[in-house]
């Protein structure tokens, strides 16, 4: 497996709260990546090796999802994507577990190979229960 272009610092998700993170995308050589119109961008969050993801999202999902904010220009301007973590999906995370994050795209021009854009640890923090006042 190729070395991902970006190892990210740990970030925090809060149980039952929505949040988002944006990323600039670079290829494995560290050059600005251009995403093709048909490239699928996905992320996964999981707590145990070889387990099904606790949260999995793509540009085609509706709650937690990935948006492509800018497709970029190869070698000049990096593609920009935003990962949206929806409160319905974060509700099932357990603050006593260690979680891992991976952002990747499925490169249709290279036989649908998944190519890692970012990888790192996720901290999960509990939140207060009760009416949020909305």
State whether residue 128 is helix, strand or coil.
Answer: coil
Q: Where are the domains of the chain?
A: 11-125
Phi, psi of 82 (to 5 degrees): -125, 130
Q: Tens digits of per-residue pLDDT, 50-86?
A: 789 999 999 998 899 999 999 999 999 999 999 999 9
Q: Tens digits of per-residue pLDDT, 20-58?
A: 999 999 988 889 999 998 899 999 999 987 789 999 999
Q: Tens digits of per-residue pLDDT, 100-111?
A: 999 999 998 889
Q: Give the pTM.
A: 0.86
Spatial separation of the C-alpha atoms in residues 88 and 4, rounded to whole Å = 29
From start to end of the chain, where are the E strands?
11-14, 19-25, 40-46, 55-58, 65-70, 79-85, 99-107, 113-125
Please state which CATH number belongs to domain 11-125.
Answer: 2.60.40
CA distances from 74 to 21, 41, 90 (A): 22, 17, 34
């Amino acid at each position: 497996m190729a070395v991902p272009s970006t190892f990210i610092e740990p970030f925090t998700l809060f149980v039952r709260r929505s949040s988002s993170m944006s990323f600039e995308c670079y290829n494995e050589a560290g050059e600005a990546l251009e995403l093709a119109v048909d490239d699928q961008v996905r992320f996964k969050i999981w707590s145990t090796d070889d387990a099904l993801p606790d949260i999995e999202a793509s540009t085609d999902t509706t709650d937690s999802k990935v948006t492509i904010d800018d497709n970029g220009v190869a070698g000049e301007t990096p593609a920009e994507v935003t990962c949206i973590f929806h409160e319905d999906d974060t509700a099932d995370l357990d603050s006593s577990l260690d979680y891992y994050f991976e952002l990747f795209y499925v490169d249709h021009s290279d036989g649908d190979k998944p190519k890692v854009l970012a990888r790192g640890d996720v901290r999960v923090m509990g939140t207060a229960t009760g009416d949020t006042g909305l």
